[in-house]
Structure 1
Amino acid sequence: MKIALLGYGKMGKTIEKIAVQRGHIIALKVDKDDTTYDLSDIDVAIDFSIPSAAVNNITNCFNARVPVVSGTTGWLEYYEMIVNLCKEKKGSFIYASNYSLGVNLFFELNKKLAKMMAPLDGYTIAMEEIHHTEKLDAPSGTAITLAEGIIENTDKKNWKLEQGDQNTIPISAKRIDKVPGTHTVLYSSEVDDIEIKHTAHNRNGFALGAVVAAEWLSDKTGVFGMKDVLGL
């Protein structure tokens, strides 16, 4: 496939390496400040840009009838608009807060554990995410997805950065140099703690998942997620 990389930071460069290893061609590289570019010769686009550029990038792909995989976080107030535009344009779109195959299994484990814990009294829920110092948004999109999975399966109503209450899941967001991403969900009581944790060792898992998603999406129309890609 001929792939456009919309965003050519560290993730974009890692995606390039993985995509080339899998036999694809990187036909276009768009830096964060570029707003006009030609998608006419592109089979699929992968967007790992910045929040302020993501909506423009995704819209450009719909207008050019190019399937687009987006991993940019921090723009989701426009998600429903983008979904509606995709349907209107008969486009092809996948958004995921995290493309790591392991993290997407972790998402499902998190939901299962939340459902098991929901009837039990005496446990509080807290979350922690740690990322590199260059990450712009907090909490991470992955942490928000984990919190939403808990909310769907318990009596919790919302999440909040740092401070929580009886109805709210507190999320601690730490920024430490050279940490690709660590996410922890902790259930704590007077008698014991139950903890699940995912630790990324490098960006390769995120990049591989994004390329696998692009391969899967290339001949489809509609709005999808990584559950569709993985058949979960």
Structure 2
Amino acid sequence: MRIVLFGYGTMGKMIDRIATARNHKIVSRIDTPGDIPPFGELDVAIDFSTPDSALGNISACLENGVPVVSGTTGWLDGFPKAELLCRQQNGAFLYASNFSLGVNLFFELNAHLARMMSGFPDYAPTMTEIHHTRKLDAPSGTAITLAEGIIENSTYTAWDSERSSSETIPITSERIGDTPGTHRIAYDSEVDRIEIQHTAHNREGFALGAVLAAEWLIGKKGVFGMRDVLNLR
């Protein structure tokens, strides 16, 4: 594949290394707003940029017929626009808040547990997410996806940084050192606690998943997620 990378921070550099090792070519590395990649020379784009630039990057790719994979978080108020544009352009767009195989299996476990716990109102869910101090958004996109998984499978209606009502899932965000990512979901009652947790040991899994998603997206049309890539639907 001929790839453009939007964003060349820690994740961008790791994706570069993994994609190159898998015999793909990085045609362009965009890390400055206003830089325009050679769209005619590309097979796919991978976006790990910033919340302010993600929608513009995705839109430019779709308007130029380039499939795009995005893992940037903190911009999802613009997701409906990207989805609509993808369908209008008959393009290909894949978004995931987390590309790790383990995290996507954790998403499924979280939804299953939420369905089980919905019949036991004495247990109240809480969430904690821990990341490195350079992470710009809080809570993390992964935490929001987990919260949405609980909401879809229970009577809870929203998430927040605190329990503002009995229908709200509180999310605590911590930023510590160089932590790659930890997500913990707990159901507490007066007598005990049920807890599940995913802990990333490094960022390799995130980067490899993004490259695998880009490989999978080639030749497809529509809006997709990692559940499609991993055939979990």
Q: Same fold (TM over 0.5)?
A: yes
Please tell me the residue identity of whatever aligns with 1:139.
P
Alignment of 1:79-228 (within 5 A): 79-228=79-228
Tell me, what secondary structure is at the counterpart of 1:114?
A: helix
Tell me, what secondary structure is at the counterpart of 2:39?
A: coil
Please tell me the residue identity of whatever aligns with 1:64.
N
Instruction: Report the RMSD for the aligned CA atoms in angstroms.
Output: 1.0
In structure 2, runs of 5+ residues without a counterpart are none
Please tell me the residue identity of whatever aligns with 2:70.
S
In structure 1, runs of 5+ residues without a counterpart are none
d(CA) in 2 for partners of 1:99, 1:133: 20
Percent identity reads 59
Identify the residue that residue 71 of structure 2 maps to in structure 1.
71
d(CA) in 2 for partners of 1:119, 1:162: 23
Please, what TM-score do these two structures have when normalized by structure 1? Answer: 0.98
For residues 10 and 114 of structure 1, do their structure 2 counterparts lie closer, same or farther at Cα, with a shift above 3 Å needed? Answer: same
Aligned pairs, number: 232
For residues 117 and 32 of structure 1, do their structure 2 counterparts lie closer, same or farther at Cα, with a shift above 3 Å needed? Answer: farther
Please, what TM-score do these two structures have when normalized by structure 2? Answer: 0.97
Task: State the shift of 1:96 in Å.
Answer: 0.5
Task: State the shift of 1:68 in Å.
Answer: 0.2
Q: Deviations 1:126-177 (Å, cap 9, x if unpaired)?
A: 0000011111111000000000000011100100023443100000000111
Please tell me the residue identity of whatever aligns with 1:191.
V
Tell me, what secondary structure is at the counterpart of 1:231?
A: coil
Please tell me the residue identity of whatever aligns with 1:2.
R
Tell me, what secondary structure is at the counterpart of 1:184?
A: strand
d(CA) in 2 for partners of 1:36, 1:16: 18
Tell me, what secondary structure is at the counterpart of 1:17?
A: helix
Residue pair 1:129, 1:172 contacting (<8 A) in 2 also:
yes
d(CA) in 1 for partners of 2:150, 2:21: 37
Task: State the shift of 1:192 in Å.
Answer: 1.4
